[in-house]
Amino acid sequence: MASTAEQEAVPEHAPERAGGPPVWPGAPTPLGARCRVGPDGIAGTNFALWAGGAEAVELCLFGPDGTERRLPLTELTHEIWHGFVPGIGAGQRYGYRVHGRWDPWTGARWNPAKLLLDPYARAVDGDFSLPAEVYGHVRDWPQQHVADTVRDERDSAPFVPKGVVVQDDDDWSDDRRPKTPWQDSVIYEMHVKGFTKLHPGIPEHLRGTYAGLAHPAAIEHLVRLGVTAVELLPVHQFAHEDHLLQRGLRNHWGYNSIGYFAPHAGYSSSGTTGQQVGEFKRMVRALHAAGIEVILDVVYNHTAEAGEFGPTLSLKGIDNRGYYRLQSDARRYADYTGCGNTLHVVQPQVLRLITDSLRYWVTEMGVDGFRFDLAAALARSMHDVDMLSPFLAVIAQDPVLRRVKLIAEPWDVGNGGYQVGAFPPLWTEWNDRYRDAVRDFWRGALPDVRDLGYRLSGSSDLYAWGGRRPYASVNFVTAHDGFTLRDLVTYERKHNEANGEGNRDGTHDNRSWNCGTEGETDDPAISALRLRQQRNLLTTLLLSTGVPMLVAGDEMGRTQGGNNNAYCQDNETGWLDWTLPDDPGRSHLLTLTRRLLDLRHRHPVLRRRAFFSGRGADGLRDLAWFGADGTEMTERDWYAPTATIALYLSGRDIPGRDERGEQITDDSFLAVLHAGPQPLDFRLPGPPWAETYELTVDTAREDQSAAPGTEHRGGETITVGARSVVLLRVRE
């Protein structure tokens, strides 16, 4: 259907179709743009694009002045259009125009007026500003309900970024991957820009970039803290949503991917015509040299093209029906993600795109693992979530991918999408049941402690099947979406007005407690309680069995002012404030976090490789639970309301052996978690559990330097402060 748009955009430079370089047949693999040597030793670039159902494909090359040269790709092999262009090398900007039918009612949305980003582009130059010209349909058509059916004939090339040819460079001979075992891992979820933008030790021109994260000042904080891996919020090239741009905001988190092979150009300090690739690799090398793994948060469930009323930037114009899940009314998209579209992972070419991307980031960019956003959407077969789905099956047998860290966000927004505990071996999962139980305990909302007992001890009820281990559970109290740790004890209601959505966005289920006053306060008693609650939550997390995940800044009391959905706050709200440790209370919080992580590193009993069995050495169980009177909990105690739970972790007989084949043994510990508002008299279990205990951590104290070393006899009654955690090491 032809467009009747009032005015057609005129490109800055008219395209040239003659007089350009020849196009030789080239090869259909690998997909994307790859520099190579062609016939007779002539250097050039091979271009290959899968475009199922297309009638023709034009390769568009752009000069420094914006001049566009269009070269038809005439070779077609198994729906891959390909050609070799001699003389074209690294730094060349390019895109595609794909010809075909315009028939939205059957899902066909080809429009050669729209310049399309190569799905395999390894670098992207420019930004998506999303004017009306980048939409395949007439965005401003008077009858909005049918606007997506009216084709827009205006040229989008002047308004969209271009792919960039990148020279291959995969020499990792000088790199040493840390290869941290899962049970020893501590994950630090962070944002490249948010972590570095305000860091005073990073040169200003490097702040907010990959080079900034590679700077010694940034790495020093991570090393001193004691984390083993950074989990980077999305660094794939992403676009800003139109509704945000219209409100003067930008997508900060990056969950709006459009280029699965390209590092986001906005985080590059060195340039955007391929330099971002080398800068990212140097960042990975620097982190590896410090013993820190790099895990990417990846968004393969949807793209920035949204639904039928979204822009045409790449896949939608290459083969809409091949790349996206469509409804029975093929004009509409199946949306299991809440973002307008869902990639059709059952399709072989989509599965290939995702797995090629994953392997590229491991083998050529050096990363150590992935956290999959809305992973349940990827595990769907035709409709339902299927743990035998093509995606999971391919990952399980891939010789590269099955060896890296794989973390699932085990849900999506579709029917049957909640799959916590259901992913197969090889996978770990974000355990939101851990988050909810720990939050509820410390705010006094748990009816009993049955669920908490499972969460503290590795969630065997969820993961003790199929050979899975306690580290299948990624334990977290906070994450990028939701309140920060400080806001969790400061606000009971979300305060997202700055997002411009009438405070309707973000979850209402915060499971938070403001300690008596909503928002920040000068009341010293409330401020002290809030700091203690932060210490309690961090201590609980780092003493629990499983893989702990911290969120950048929680270790020093970062706040977002009560915004629990700061995805569009690319400003001080979303950036880490490095002046926080100047406050004594925040400084003590940071010191406690470092101390707990060091304790975890030194004691294998706190990072077990196997679930507790209920048995142990010398007739003592490997895990025992006690009430306030110092006797073991009974079945009835688990069902009774209580604000206190104590767990004894035995180090006498830890499953597994060390590298020399020796039995692993360790100290034993007793942890008392007391969420009640009044101090508690707690009787320490006596022999055979312990003759003597040594106080190791007491969160009732702001300054932990005064806590360690105090000894108590088994059978002695100690006072546990109101709302606090006491950790004692068994001396004998």
Q: Which residues contact 240 (CB under 8 A, 6 or more apart)?
A: 127, 128, 130, 250, 251, 256
Residues in the chain: 732
- What pLDDT does residue 706 have? 59
**Which residue in 667, 676, 730 sits closest to 700, CA to CA?**
676
CA-to-CA distance for 274 and 263, rounded, in angstroms? 10
Contact between 406 and 547 (Cβ < 8 Å): no
pLDDT digit string, tens, across residues 585-638: 899 999 999 999 999 999 999 999 999 988 876 778 999 999 989 899 999 999
Q: Which residues pair with 107 in a beta bridge?
A: none
Residue 13: band (very low, low, confident or very high) from pLDDT cuts 50, 70, 90: very low
Contact between 201 and 580 (Cβ < 8 Å): no
pLDDT digit string, tens, across residues 551-585: 999 999 999 999 999 999 999 999 999 999 999 98
The stretch 89-112 carries a mean pLDDT of 98
Residue 655: band (very low, low, confident or very high) from pLDDT cuts 50, 70, 90: confident
Amino acid identity of residue 48, one-letter, is A
Helices within 191-296 (DSSP H only): 192-196, 210-214, 216-225, 242-246, 275-289
The stretch 686-704 carries a mean pLDDT of 93
Q: If you ran DSSP here, which 8-state letter would residue 228 be given?
A: S
- What pLDDT does residue 79 have? 97
pLDDT digit string, tens, across residues 516-534: 999 999 999 999 999 999 9
Q: Which residues contact 187 (CB under 8 A, 6 or more apart)?
A: 227, 228, 229, 230, 231, 295, 474, 547, 548, 549, 550
- What pLDDT does residue 708 have? 64
Check pLDDT > 90 for residue 320.
yes
Contact between 672 and 540 (Cβ < 8 Å): no
- What pLDDT does residue 463 have? 97
pLDDT digit string, tens, across residues 432-457: 999 999 999 999 999 999 999 999 99
- What pLDDT does residue 614 have? 84
Helices within 579-644 (DSSP H only): 584-602, 635-639
Query: Which listed residue (364, 409, 412, 554) is catalytic?
Result: 409
Exposed, middle or buried by CB within 10 Å (0-12, 13-18, 19+), for 7? exposed
Helices within 467-612 (DSSP H only): 485-488, 524-543, 584-602
Least confident of 11-20, 57-66, 307-316, 692-701: 11-20
pLDDT more than 70, % of the chain? 96
Helices within 386-494 (DSSP H only): 390-397, 432-442, 450-456, 460-463, 485-488
Q: What six digits make up the tokens of 123?
A: 């670098």
373 has catalytic annotation: yes
Check pLDDT > 90 for residue 178.
yes
Q: What are phi and psi of 550, to 5 degrees?
A: -100, 150
Q: Which residues pair with 34 in a beta bridge?
A: 46
Contacts of range 398-405, beta carbons closer than 8 Å, 24 or more positions apart? 398/355, 398/359, 400/358, 400/359, 400/362, 400/363, 401/355, 401/358, 401/359, 401/362, 402/426, 404/362, 404/367, 404/368, 404/369, 404/370, 405/182, 405/185, 405/229, 405/293, 405/295, 405/368, 405/369, 405/370
What sign has the CA pseudo-torsion 367, 371, 372, 375? positive
pLDDT digit string, tens, across residues 485-502: 999 999 999 999 999 999
Contact between 494 and 508 (Cβ < 8 Å): yes
CA-to-CA distance for 163 and 91, rounded, in angstroms? 9
Number of CB atoms found within 10 A of residue 646's CB:
23
CA-to-CA distance for 5 and 471, rounded, in angstroms? 57
Residue 10: band (very low, low, confident or very high) from pLDDT cuts 50, 70, 90: very low
Exposed e or buried b per residue across 273-286, where buried means at least 16 C-beta atoms within 10 angstroms of its C-beta: bbbbbbbbbebbbb
Q: Beta strand 724-730 with 692-698: parallel, antiparallel or unpaired? A: antiparallel
Check pLDDT > 90 for residue 642.
yes
Amino acid identity of residue 146, one-letter, is V
The stretch 695-719 carries a mean pLDDT of 87
Check pLDDT > 60 for residue 294.
yes
Query: Which listed residue (231, 305, 319, 373) is catalytic?
Result: 373
- What pLDDT does residue 173 have? 67
CA angle 559, 565, 571 (to 5 degrees): 60
Distances (CA, A) of 51 to 24, 82, 323: 19, 10, 10
- What pLDDT does residue 429 have? 98
- What pLDDT does residue 16 have? 56
What is the residue-wise DSSP string for 108-122?
A: EE--TTS-B--TT-S
CA-to-CA distance for 727 and 694, rounded, in angstroms? 9
Check pLDDT > 70 for residue 1.
no
Distances (CA, A) of 124 to 162, 266, 283: 6, 10, 19
Q: Name the one residue in this structure whose structure tokens are 């460079």.
A: 169
Q: Which residues pair with 654 in a beta bridge?
A: 664
Q: What are phi and psi of 397, to 5 degrees?
A: -105, 0
The stretch 126-135 carries a mean pLDDT of 93
Exposed, middle or buried by CB within 10 Å (0-12, 13-18, 19+), for 726? buried
Check pLDDT > 60 for residue 4.
no
What is the residue-wise DSSP string for 95-162?
A: EEEEE--EEGGGTEE--TTS-B--TT-S-EES-----GGGSSB-TT-SSGGGGGGSB--S--GGGS-E
Residue 660: band (very low, low, confident or very high) from pLDDT cuts 50, 70, 90: confident
pLDDT digit string, tens, across residues 216-256: 999 999 999 999 999 999 999 999 999 999 999 999 999 99
The stretch 391-408 carries a mean pLDDT of 96
**Which residue in 492, 498, 487, 475 sits closest to 252, CA to CA?**
498
Q: What six digits make up the tokens of 232?
A: 């980077």
Global pTM?
0.95
Cis preceding-peptide flag for 15 (omega within 30 of 0) = no
Exposed e or buried b per residue across 60-80, where buried means at least 16 C-beta atoms within 10 angstroms of its C-beta: bbbeeeeebbbbebebeeeeb
CA-to-CA distance for 281 and 211, rounded, in angstroms? 10
- What pLDDT does residue 170 have? 67
Check pLDDT > 80 for residue 169.
no
Residue 661: band (very low, low, confident or very high) from pLDDT cuts 50, 70, 90: confident
CA-to-CA distance for 456 and 441, rounded, in angstroms? 12
